[in-house]
Amino acid sequence: MSAQNQTLYLKVEQNSVVKQKNIVLNDIAKMECTDESIIRQLKQLSIYHFPKNLGKKRKTVQTFSVLKVIELIHEKYPQLTVVNLGEADFVVYYKPKEDPKALQLFKTCLICAILFFGAAFMIMTFNNDVSVPEVFDRFYEQVMGRESSGYTALEISYCIGLPIGILIFYNHIGKKKITDDPTPIQVAMRKYEQDVDTTYIEESGREGKSIDVD
């Protein structure tokens, strides 16, 4: 097939997740070319195959250089001009079949319970450390001129305002978001994900484990 005077625009994300051991170009990249037949052929271009001896539930990672991808493309279309619009190095995660839904539900409930009781304990210890009840009692006595009974508008407002403040800060009520902005957790997880990918790429480069051109 002739690809003379044709240009392929290639965009590879920093990380991709695959569920099958054989990786094709369509799994990791988006492509654009005026010749649609070239794209159809390249979508099925084999890039890598994870070892067969991997366990069914074992998650593994492999790093690549986009130069290796371009090299494989040129083996099929030597005259094709390839323009990379994505990452220079990227990571592919092989994630086998997920656990049964019942097990996933159990794990989710367990994590939610740990987070709930952990957060409750943290709030209680914080209140105890800064003596919130004592502060409320003194404030109430100074303003009202009499001792607090322990159940005043201050305590009620605090109990109502605390969960509302948490919901607003984390921008989530169940599955729904209050605004379209990413939540603090999403931002933190995205930064963590980028740091993990960068570490994999740098470590693989130092150890010579990244799949690259010769």
Q: Could you read off the pLDDT of 134-188 as tens digits, one per residue? A: 888 888 888 888 887 777 888 888 888 888 888 787 777 767 777 778 888 888 8
Q: What is the CATH number of the domain that holds 27?
A: 2.60.480.10
Whether 60 and 120 map to the same domain: the answer is no
Q: In terms of pTM, does the model score above 0.85?
A: no
Provide the domain limits for residue 111: 99-129
Whether 177 and 125 map to the same domain: the answer is no
Q: What is the pLDDT of residue 72?
A: 95
CA pair distance 159, 67, nearest whole angstrom: 58
Q: What is the pLDDT of residue 147?
A: 80
Whether 81 and 20 map to the same domain: the answer is yes
In this structure, is residue 212 part of a structural domain? no
Domain count across the chain: 3
Distances in Å between the Cα of 43 and the Cα atoms of 32, 46, 75, 82, 132 are: 11, 9, 14, 14, 62
